[in-house]
Amino acid sequence: MRHMLAALLQKSGYQVDTASDGAEAVNLVDQTLYDFILCDLKMPGMGGMEFIDSARDKLWESTVIMMSAFGTLDTAVEAMKKGAYDFISKPFKPDEVLLTLKKAEERESLKRENRWLKERIRKIQQSYSFGTMVGRSPVIQAVFRLAEKVAFYDTTVLITGESGTGKELIARGIHAKGDRSGNALVPVNCGGIPENLLESELFGYKRGAFTGADRDKMGLFEAANGGTIFLDEIGELPLSLQVKLLRVLQEDEIRRVGDAATRKIDVRVIAATARDLEKAVAEGVFREDLYYRLNVVQIRVPPLREWPEDIALLCRHFINLFNEKFGKEIKGVSTAALKILQRHHWPGNIRELENVIERSVVLSDDPVLMPEHFPPELGRSRPEMGIESFFDGYSLKEAQRTFEHHLIVKALQETGGNRTQAAKLLEISHPSLLSKMKLYGIDL
C-alpha cells in the first residue's frame, strides 16, 4: 500500500517520504515540515491515533488525512477531533486520494491567503496608528512619521497644539517606541500643581527643608530616572522655576529643596503646551533660553478640523473602545450621523469627539449610532475658516495642494461621500477626483 501510494503521488508531482509505523513517522516529522500526511489507522507498534497524539505539537502546519479499512463514523469523528483534516475508507480508488489532496491543497491555499490578509490588515492598521492614536490623512501621518523618527533618540521634544489634540498620546507613543520604554514615563501637569509646591514636587526635598518636611522625599525627576518625564502645559511654569528647569536640562542634575548637594539624573524630557511660547517669550513670561533648550524638535499636533476626513476612522476606533468598556455591540455610525460629525467644528478636538462617542454609545439601544444619539447642538454651525486657519506658509504650490485637499473633503462631506456628485460640485471629472483623492490620501 505504501509503495503504491508513493508511486501514485510521485507520478502526480509530489515529493514523498514513507514510514512503516507511527514511531518512525514521529522521527520524520521531527526533522521535516510536511504539507500533507497520509496516515493509516492500524499500524504495528504505534497506530495512527497514537501518532497524532505524540506528534500534535509538530503538526500545526501539516494536513493529516487518516485511512483505514476498519473505519466507522465514530472513528472518523475522533480523528477529526484530534486534528485530522479528512478520513478515507479502504479500499479506495487512486482518484479518491488525489481528489482529497486537491481539496486539502485548496484549503491550505485559503489558509495561507487568510494569514496573508490578516498580516496585511495588521500592517495597514499599524501604519495608520502611533501609540494609541489613529489617523490616515496626510496631515496626521506626517506627525506620526516625525514622532517615529525622534522616538529612538534622547533629544528633547516640544509638542504643541490646541487642547484636546492628543499631545500626551504622542508623548506616550514616543516613550513606548524608544529605548527607555522599559522604564517609567512620569507625566506632570505644570499648570495643575500649586506654585508653592511645584519645586518640591519636581525636585524633591530634604528632611527639615520646610515645616512639615519630616522625611526626605524623591521628586518626579528622580522618579523618572532612566525613563521619560512628560512636562505637560510647560507654558504655565512660573519664571522662578524656569531657571531651575533650564539647569536640569543643561547639566543633567537636580538639587532637592533644602539640600546643598546635587544629584545626577538620566531623564528624557518631553514637554507640551497649548500656548504660543514664542509670543510668551516676547511678552517676557517665558525664558527665551529655556524655549530654545526645549524646542530641539517641535511636533505640532494639528486640530481635528484640519483632518476631518479621519472622523469616520476615529469613530470606529472609539466605538470599539467603548463597546469593550461597556459591553455594548455598536456596529458603527449612520451616514446621516457621520455628516453631522463631519460638519462640526470640534473646538475640543479629539477629546471632544471621544466624549461625544462615549455619550452616544451609552445612550444608544440601536446597533448603529443615529443623529438622535448625539447632542442636539452638534454640527449646527461651523465657523468660517480663513486661509490662515489651515495654511500658514508662502508656497503657492503648497497652498494649491492644501486648498484642493480642503475643497475635496468639503465636497465629499456635502454629498455624503458620493464621488460623482462631489466631482460635479468641484467641476472636475470623476477620474480626476479619484486621482486627487489617491494623491492626498482621502478616503471618504
pLDDT in tens, 285-317: 999 999 999 999 999 999 998 888 899 999 999
Task: Report how far apart the first and last C-alpha atoms of the chain are (Å, whole number).
Answer: 61
Give domain status of residue 327, yes or no.
yes
Domain end, chosen from 97, 121, 145, is at 121
Question: Are 318 and 353 a contacting pair, CB within 8 Å?
Answer: yes
Domain assignment present for 206: yes
Q: Are 278 and 203 part of one and the same domain?
A: yes
Within-domain flag for 403 = yes
Q: Judge contact between 225 and 244, C-beta under 8 A.
A: no
Q: Is residue 382 part of a domain?
A: no
Looking at the fold, whether 218 and 176 belong to one and the same domain comes out as yes
- Domain of residue 175 covers 132-302
pLDDT number for residue 321: 92
Is 330 among the domain residues? Answer: yes
pLDDT score of 122 = 57
Cβ atoms of 369 and 378 within 8 Å: the answer is no
Same domain membership, residue 227 and residue 172: yes
The answer to whether position 378 is within a domain reads no
Domain boundary, last residue among 373, 403, 427: 373
Nearest to 309 by CA among 441, 123, 130: 441
Beta bridge partners of 158: 271, 298
Q: Residue 141: helix, strand or coil by DSSP?
A: helix
Cα distances (Å, whole numbers) of residue 384 to 218, 305, 398:
50, 11, 21
Taking Cα atoms as reference points, which of 311, 323, 390 lies closest to residue 352? 311
For residue 242, give the C-alpha cell.
Answer: 524656569
- What pLDDT band is residue 376 in, cutting at 50, 70 and 90? confident
The b/e string for 206-241 (b: 16+ C-beta within 10 A; e otherwise) is beebeeeeeeebebbbbebbebbbbbbbbbbbeeeb
Same-domain pairing of 260 and 297: yes
Provide CB contacts within 8 A for 249, sequence distance 6+: 156, 269, 290, 293, 294
Q: Which amino acid is at 294?
A: L
For residues 359 and 392, membership in a common domain is answered with no
Residues 117 and 138 in one domain: no
Higher pLDDT, 156 or 379: 156
Q: Within this chain, do residues 116 and 155 fall inside the same structural domain, yes or no? A: no
Q: Which of the given ranges, 40-44, 285-289, 411-415, has the highest pLDDT on average?
A: 285-289
DSSP string covering 98-121: HHHHHHHHHHHHHHHHHHHHHHHH
Query: Cα separation of 69 and 82, whole Å?
Result: 19
Given a cut of 60, whether residue 391 has pLDDT beyond it is no
Q: State residue 306 phi and psi, 5-degree precision.
A: -85, -10
Domain count, the chain: 4
Cell of residue 223, nine digits? 522618579
Number of neighbours of residue 280 by Cβ within 10 angstroms:
17
Kindly report the backbone phi and psi dihedral angles of residue 87, in degrees, each rounded to the nearest multiple of 5, phi listed first.
-135, 125
pLDDT at 170 exceeding the cut of 60: yes
DSSP per position, 156-179: -EEEE--TTS-HHHHHHHHHHHST
Q: Are both 140 and 257 inside the same structural domain?
A: yes
Average pLDDT over residues 122-131: 62
Residue type, 108: E
**Confidence band of 16 (pLDDT split at 50, 70, 90):** very high
- Closest of 5, 42, 3, 48 to residue 25, by C-alpha: 48
Q: Decide if pLDDT at 390 tops 60.
A: no
Asked if residue 382 lies in contact with residue 343, where contact means CB atoms within 8 angstroms, the answer is: yes
CATH number, domain at 412? 1.10.10
What burial letters (b/e) apply to 143-165, b meaning 16+ CB within 10 Å?
bbebbeebbeeeebbbbbbbebb
**22 and 90 fall within a common domain:** yes
Same domain, 108 and 139: no
Domain-embedded: residue 380: no
Across residues 335-342, what is the average pLDDT?
A: 88
* Domain C-terminal end among 350, 373, 396: 373
Which CATH number is 242's domain given? 3.40.50.300
User: Would you give the distance in Å from CA 109 to the centre of its chain?
Assistant: 29
Co-location of 204 and 165 in the same domain: yes
Q: For residue 178, what is its C-alpha cell?
A: 524608544
* Stretch 11-29: mean pLDDT: 90
CA–CA separation, 105 and 217 (whole Å): 67
Residue 333: phi and psi, rounded to 5, are -120, 135
Residue 93 domain-assigned?
A: yes
Q: How do residues 62-116 score in pLDDT, each as one tens digit? A: 888 888 877 667 777 777 777 788 888 878 888 888 888 888 888 777 777 777 7
In a shared domain, residues 170 and 49: no
Q: Specify the 3-state DSSP secondary structure of 34.
A: coil
CATH value at residue 107: 3.40.50.2300
Strands 332-333, 368-369: pairing kind: parallel
How many of the other CB atoms lie within 10 Å of CB of 33? 10
At 381 the pLDDT is 47
